Amino acid sequence: MITPTPLMQLVAGAWGFKTLAVGVEFGLFTRLAGGRTITVAETAAELEIDERPADLLLAASASLGLLDKAGEGYRNSELAEQFLVEGRPYYFGAQVRYSDLHTYLPWHRIGEALRGNRPLTWDPQQQKSMFDTTDPDLVTEFWDAMFATSRFTARALADAYDFGAHRRLLDVGGGAGAFPIEFCQRLPQLQATILELPHVCVRAEERIAAEGLTDRIGTVAGDFLGDPALPDGHDVILLSMILHDWDEPTNRTLLTRCHAALPPGGAIVISELLLNDERTGPPEAALMGMNMLVETEGGKNYSGAEYATWLDDAGFVDARIVPFDAPGANGAVVARRP
């Protein structure tokens, strides 16, 4: 018998996110790093809250798979231990924090975005794009969130696609450098260049230096949509979580410029949350498309077939989809310049 229970689960999805977000805000999972167990009374004392809300927070976090019950106490689940403890290589809390502070409330006005077909997190009359901001806090929070999402996605992509076949990588719109850092740590022969806005290059250089990779990863300050040409001298170009920010004409133009920048035999890798060809899912791709309505002027999530068509029209050949599982992408569309 069909019931409305799935609808209630959708309603409760917002509650689950806010439970995760407040756990990150209070540093709950970082406090429990290394296998520490905490009771309700200890939680209340450390978080400076009453025992009733402490009990509810712990129970709800356990129900979401973030904590495990251990006797009378709670400890991090494997998921929280790996991804919600600050300082861990694949710490995801920065994405949770950014979403909580900057996209959660705009999503409450999603009807306004649908009616007006315009973003809610920034004003197109005041900015060229969502990336055009000088607010230092927002810059830090956004690019830390992108790094958090990208770092494990880079690991999954590196497992799925052999970057060892290449010598020089150009990461177009590469943010703070998560993909080149992950790849170069694995592949000693690989050199990489990040093309990014000037203020983002500064953040990337800090991350690269912290990983000891300054001699292998460089940055080029620029605008991949506005500059006359992309940097040449690379045999593979990566577009990770880039094309969903823009409309089809903009993406087609960028792919044509990528083709011009690559030598014969060079490869292009488009890493995204791909819709299926019927545009019925998966949910993570379709909902990211809705998020693009909230955050961009023309962005949406596309199917692998759409990307393959654009690549073919731009002069690439042998387009294929490489599936994998990561927070920022569920696959890559790979093609080469003949």
Predicted local distance difference test score (pLDDT) of residue 132: 67
Name the nearest CA neighbour of 32 among 68, 64, 57.
Answer: 68
Name the nearest CA neighbour of 169 among 239, 81, 251.
Answer: 239
The pTM of the full predicted model, rounded to 2 decimals, is 0.95
- Known catalytic residues are 244
All structural domains of the chain, each given as residue ranges with its CATH number in brackets, are: 5-83 (1.10.10.10), 149-336 (3.40.50.150)
Three-state DSSP string of 259-313: HHHCCCCCEEEEEECCECCCCCCCHHHHHHHHHHHHHCCCCCCCEHHHHHHHHHH
Task: Kindly indicate the confidence band of residue 206, based on its pLDDT and cuts at 50, 70 and 90.
Answer: very high
Distance CA(236)–CA(12), nearest Å, equals 43
Q: How far is CA 309 from its chain centroid?
A: 24
- Encoding tokens for residue 80? 């929280």
Tens digit of each residue's pLDDT (9 = 90 or more) over 242-285:
999 999 999 999 999 999 999 999 999 999 999 999 999 999 99
Distance CA(154)–CA(266), nearest Å, equals 20
